[in-house]
Amino acid sequence: MTDVVNKATRSRMMAGIKGKNTVPELVLRQAMHKRGFRFRLHVKQLPGRPDLLFPKYKAAVFVHGCFWHRHRNCRYATTPATRTEFWQTKFAANVARDSLLVMALINSGWRVAIIWECSLRNSVGIQETAEELSKWLVSDSNQLELGDMPVL
């Protein structure tokens, strides 16, 4: 299947995809701040530059896009019909890098949470995700992964 836009337009669209301060990140930050949690953003000194860092709780949080980070069984983790080999290679590299970063953080004594963007798509999901993340922060659990349950 051919692309519906020309090469220049597609390039401009892809260049506009942000790596930080995304909408899912912003809504989670706002919800956590309302709950009284304070955090640092995109700390360069840590592996992967976590989206939110809660030093008081020794916790790092990544807000992953379902498409780019390949949320398993998620309807938003589709593969483009064109250049599938390129995309599969890129996605595999992203997933491998994510695993290495999580392990590096855990080995450094940090707890790690992965929040998938699909869990932050509506106000109910935002509140439920923030509530679960709040509970996890004050617990002694090492890892957390939050995302919508897949629709099969």
In a domain, 124, yes or no: yes
| Residue 133 in domain | yes
- 113-129, pLDDT tens digit by residue? 999 999 999 999 999 99
Does 82 fall in a domain?
yes
**Tokens 């995700």 -> residue:** 129
Say which amino acid occupies 132.
Answer: E
Report the distance separating Cα 103 and Cα 112, nearest Å.
9
pLDDT of res. 33: 97
* Token duo for residue 136: 């996890």
**pTM, rounded to two decimals:** 0.85
* Res. 1: pLDDT tops 60: no
Count structural domains, the chain.
Answer: 1
Is pLDDT above 50 for 3? yes
pLDDT tens column, 54-89: 999 999 999 999 998 999 989 899 988 888 999 999
Q: What is the predicted pLDDT for the residue at 150?
A: 43
Domain encompassing residue 75: 22-141
- 151 falls within a domain: no
Query: Under a CB-based contact definition with an 8 Å cutoff, are residues 1 and 82 in contact?
Result: yes
Indicate whether 143 pLDDT > 50: yes
Q: What is the mean pLDDT of the chain?
A: 90
Determine the average pLDDT of the residues in 46-59.
Answer: 96
Q: Give Cα separations from 95 to 29, 54, 82, 86 (angstroms).
A: 24, 24, 20, 14
Judge whether 30 lies within some domain: yes
Whether 71 is in a domain gets the answer: yes
Q: What is the pLDDT of residue 2?
A: 63
What confidence tier does 147 reach under pLDDT thresholds 50, 70, 90?
confident
**pLDDT top residue among 6 and 18:** 6
What is the CATH number for 65?
3.40.960.10
Name the more confident of 20 and 37.
Answer: 37
Predicted pLDDT at 15: 72
